[in-house]
A and B are shown apart, each in its own frame.
Chain A
Amino acid sequence: MPWGVGIIGAGPGVGALHLPTLARLGALFTVVHVADNGGGRAELLAAEVGAAASHGTVALLADASVEVVAICSPPAEHARQIHDCVAAGVRAILCEKPLATTVEEAHAVVDACRQAGVLLLVATNHFFDEAWDRTKHHLVALESDVRTISATVALPPNGRYHAAVTELAPTTAPPRGAPDLSDSGVAAAIVRQLVLGLAVHDLPAVRDLAPDFEGVDFAAAVPPIGYTVGFRASGVRILLTAVMVPDGPDPVWRITVGTSTDRVDVEFPPSFVHAGSATVRVRDGDLRSTTYRRAGEDGYVREWRALAALLDGTATTEYHEVLDDALFAIGLADAAADAIRTGTSS
């Protein structure tokens, strides 16, 4: 029997990402309940998959058919909803990134899940992408001396990619004005939010190679919405740069790992389109360039498969890794915001 999934949140990330992903995994999961914050989109999404719909989390958590909860709400609500899930006795939680937005929250939610035996997985799809396994294998097999990591991102609006995979209800939200990034307080808050909401896609992979956060060397906001952050971890220098633009070419989403001999590019397809794994390209010290075969499944499918493995007992929740990933991201976000606010490095 597939596991019954309740989804908290009904935004584009649910309609264009998780529902199409779960549709590919019908033998493992079935969506039984969708809840929103009262905006009314839950009914529309639930109707597509024959699930129940509700507002808030009370009805969803009281639904006996909900065994697994996917938390796809705004980041500030994640920690409270994890505690609610634990209190309701759900079997497993898939939480969209970030797990939490403060150090205290991160410790508390991981402790709560560990003590209650609730399985917990954070949906860090780039880390779950098979391309990252391939990258890591390449680096480990060659005993590579990783010296630098960069993640470069340029994103046009998501609408064209939503339209490629689903039919979302038109949004009624008015367009937001550009924030005043010349105000260091505003810029610091924006960059902190973007590190926890956007850079967090890649930070588990960064931490996989450079686990010990050392400090931020610079951080700056990039208009209209973006950031560039230089920092160090485990002796490796890391540069994160991202910008979201109102119009533009296909997205750039590339992690590059630099060693003394090799440059490894991991290029992710746009989110939402379910176009398979990232592409791994290596330019090695023998002047050869190699492109590895792409896998058919993307990181979203694989993260749900990883949750299934936790549920069937073939894998174990690594609570300490979940916590350390969260602390790494929060520590970086806080340090980047401080660097902007104070004009100093940390």
Chain B
Amino acid sequence: MTPRIPVVATLAEYRVAVAGLPTQTELAVDAAGAIVVVDGATRWWDAAAAAVDAGASAVLVAEPRDVPLVAVGDLAADAPVPIVVHRARLRGDLVALAVEHREGTPPRIVVAECRAAASELTATVRDAVGWVRSLAGVTLDLAAASIGPESGTALLRSHDGTRAAGSMILTVTRPEAAILRVQALGETTTEVELDVPVGRTELATSTGSGRRVAPTLFEAAERAALRRTIAAIAAAAPLGALPDLADLLHDARAADAIMRSGRDRASLVDL
């Protein structure tokens, strides 16, 4: 029998995920040789670095809230083990499905509608940038943005500066009204809607032949993230091959630039 991979996790969802992978994983308390799950609502970059120092075989960052660019950049540059990032609004299996269903047809432009409470807006915009990046298949720069206390708009260009890749509209809402919807427009249209308060995710891809709705992802996002971490260890890929931190940094840079922009920048007001 293959030894089970130890997992250090205090978050309840990840303890459940370990229970859901009983032949591959087991809960542990010692970071050495283990996958260490760090809570993204804390100073996770410090926790991740500490886990690496303690000999973790991989780190799984659960839903990072803050992303300090320098500290995370240092972590990405120095980490000798895989660091997987789980972002609930940008879960890897859903993104992969969305890209796969486009069958290589690039969108003409991607439109993201971000509705979130003020305290969640930056993270939501970050994930929206991730969707634009993934669906457009390009890295992005902020071209322009206008942010006010209740709303905002932004234009993202491809990093090579040749085209408008995506635009965004941001609405500050009550927490229960939070929704992220992304539409990639063109000969093939992708629409993904994540209504977290309701617990509904829908991915649809349309072409001239019709509309294809992706099957529901019944696997908990945390279990999928843990499986992805196990796969990263098994792959023994060269350091830096796992794009999670680089993608997170890319998306965070753009989101921070958006949220700092605007002629009438003012503090977002939580409702």
Contacts and interface: CB of A to CB of B under 8 A. Distances in A.
Interface in A222-245: 222-224, 226, 228, 230-232, 235-239, 241, 243, 245
Given A218-B153, A237-B148, A248 B176 contact: no
Interface string B205-227: 01110110000000000000000
A220 B155 contact: yes
A154 to B, nearest CB: 4
A217 B153 contact: yes
A260 B108 contact: no
A249 interface: yes
Interface string A281-301: 001111101000000000000
A249 B211 contact: yes
B146 interface: yes
A262 B271 CA distance: 14
A260 B111 contact: no
Interface stretch (A15-23, A144-152, A166-174, A325-333): A144-152
A98 interface: no
B144 A218 contact: yes
A258 interface: yes
B185 A285 contact: no
Interface string A279-321: 0000111110100000000000000000000000000000000
Interface string B146-172: 101011111101000011100111111
A230 B153 contact: yes
Nearest to B264: A232
A299 B168 CA distance: 29
Name the interface size band of chain B. Answer: 35 or more
Interface stretch (B11-19, B55-63, B187-195, B247-255): B187-195
A61 to B, nearest CB: 42
Contacts of B155: 218, 220, 228, 230
B interface, over-half SS: strand
A148 B169 contact: yes
Nearest to A237: B151
Contacts of B150: 145, 147, 260
Given A237-B151, A241-B109, A147 B186 contact: no
B108 A243 contact: yes
Contact of A241 (B145, B167, B195): B167
Contacts of A236: 151
A22 to B, nearest CB: 31
B183 interface: yes
B206 A283 contact: no
Contacts of A283: 177, 179, 195, 198
A261 B174 contact: yes
A250 interface: yes
A232 B185 contact: no
Interface residues of A, number: 48
A182 B171 CA distance: 31
Contacts of B148: 235, 237
Contacts of B197: 287
A260 B206 contact: no
A248 B208 contact: yes
B133 interface: no
Contacts of B229: none
Given A147-B151, A285-B174, A287-B176, A228 B188 contact: no
A222 B207 contact: no
B162 to A, nearest CB: 8
B144 A345 contact: yes
Interface of B: 108-109, 111, 113, 115, 143-146, 148, 150-155, 157, 162-164, 167-174, 176-177, 179, 183, 185-189, 195, 197-198, 206-208, 210-211, 263, 271
Interface in A175-227: 182, 217-218, 220-224, 226
A263 B189 contact: no
A147 B185 CA distance: 24
Given A248-B207, A263-B179, A150 B189 contact: no
A286 B177 CA distance: 8
A150 B108 contact: no
Given A230-B169, A263-B177, A345-B263, 14 more contacts: A147-B150, A154-B185, A154-B189, A218-B167, A220-B164, A228-B109, A237-B170, A245-B186, A249-B188, A249-B210, A252-B189, A260-B173, A285-B176, A287-B197
B113 to A, nearest CB: 6
A222 B108 CA distance: 7
Interface in A122-136: none
A248 B167 CA distance: 21
A6 B170 CA distance: 46
A143 B154 CA distance: 27
Contacts of B207: 248-249
Nearest to B109: A222
A230 B171 contact: no
Contacts of B151: 147-148, 236-237, 258
A154 B208 CA distance: 12
A246 interface: yes
A246 B187 CA distance: 7
